Amino acid sequence: MAPEDESLGELLPRPDPTRLTTEALMREISRVDKQFTAALDNLLEFHKLDLQRIEQVLTEKQNIGMNIVHGLREVYDEKLTAVQLQFDLIERQRVELRANTGKALDAALAANKDSLESLGHTYNTSHVALVALVDDIKSRVTALEAMRMGSKETNAGLYAVMGVILTIVWIAITILALYGK
């Protein structure tokens, strides 16, 4: 020791309180350090557990979300399939309706052609019969006129015959008009 340290040594108490204080302080620092480290380790462990719980919840939510998306995709695909099926059915009905309409139109045209041919035949037959009837009535009227020339009865008979002829012609025209439609 230096001479100055020897003089101080006599003044300092034994055991040296500075050294004891320093040792006590070091023990307390060590104890606080251990407590702080333990608290920090506990806090880290708590945060790790909390982080694991958060990750687990997020994973569960993600799985739920994926299940919902998958379910919605299935519903969407099912609805899309149903709409496509409806389009296919509508198209099939349209094609069938078009074919049926074509067949019905062909049948109607054929029936109309047959009706027109039948009506034409009926008209021709009626016309020939009417011409023959008018010719017959003319010849009878002529014969009647020749027989009763000059008398009043002849005029009355002639008017009666003409009335009958006009009535028959009118009936024939009415028949033709009715069958002509």
Cis peptide before 15 (omega within 30 of 0): yes
Its domain, for residue 144, covers 16-180
- The distance from CA 45 to its chain's CA centroid, rounded to whole angstroms, is 59
* Within-domain flag for 41: yes
Task: Give the model's pLDDT for residue 135.
Answer: 80
Q: How many domains does the chain have?
A: 1
* Within-domain flag for 5: no
Mean pLDDT computed over 92-108: 86
* Within-domain flag for 111: yes
Under 8 Å between Cβ of 149 and 142: no
* Within-domain flag for 34: yes
Q: What is the pLDDT of residues 117-174, one digit of tens each?
A: 877 777 778 777 777 877 888 787 787 776 666 555 556 777 888 888 889 989 888 8
Mean pLDDT computed over 55-65: 92
Task: Give the model's pLDDT for residue 133.
Answer: 78
* Within-domain flag for 114: yes
Task: Give the model's pLDDT for residue 1.
Answer: 45
Q: What is the pLDDT of residues 3-48, one digit of tens each?
A: 555 555 566 667 667 888 888 999 999 999 999 999 999 999 999 9
* Within-domain flag for 11: no
* Token pair in block for residue 93: 């009905």
